[in-house]
Amino acid sequence: MNVLAYDPFVNEDEASNLNVELCSLEAIFKHADVVSLHSPLLPETKGMIKKEHFQSMKQNATFINTARGAIVREDEMIEVLQERTDITAVLDVTYPEPPAEQSKLYTLPNVVLTPHIAGSSGNERARLGAFMLEEAKRFTAGEPLQYKITKESYRNMA
């Protein structure tokens, strides 16, 4: 499998170590069989995925969004999905969330909507709770935090 990646924070050496090929966002949509979006919602990423991206997708390609709904220009995506029934959108997130009652996302046959639960179901909820409890114990004991979120790390989170 060839993995294409667009990430302005990853350099060629890191990409090589990860066995991915860095390319433009436009190239990913044009050449990938599956496009999976994992970008954080920042002022510069809001509305980043446009009509042209969906129009350029390969025949029978799939778009997956598990990032944030506002990164995609949803009305433009819907327009293309109506025209290009060969492409599929799998959406864990939308904007707004959930979609408005009259949204065509509910009725388009090439759209799959999943409930956005941020990947937390089953055993991982207990594990996350245990991590939080241990971190709270470190905080109250005045110990260094293991999972401290800085302004910089928060800025780059999905």
- What's the CA gap between 95 and 45, in Å, rounded? 14
* Alpha carbons 33 and 83: distance in angstroms, whole number: 18
Q: Classify the phi-psi angles of 21: left when phi > 0, otherwise alpha if psi is within -120 to 50, otherwise beta.
A: beta
pLDDT score recorded for residue 110? 98
- Residue 91 and residue 7: Cα distance in Å, rounded? 21
Structure tokens of 121?
A: 């179901």
* Predicted pLDDT at 34: 98
Which among 51, 60, 58, 48 is positioned nearest to 24, based on CA atoms?
A: 48
Distance of CA 131 to the CA centre of its chain: 24
pLDDT at 117: 65
pLDDT value of residue 6:
96
Question: What residues act catalytically?
Answer: 68, 97, 116
What global pTM score does this model have?
0.77
Please give the pLDDT value at position 150: 76
Output the pLDDT for position 155: 65
Which portions of the chain are predicted below pLDDT 70? 117-122, 154-158
pLDDT score, position 2: 93
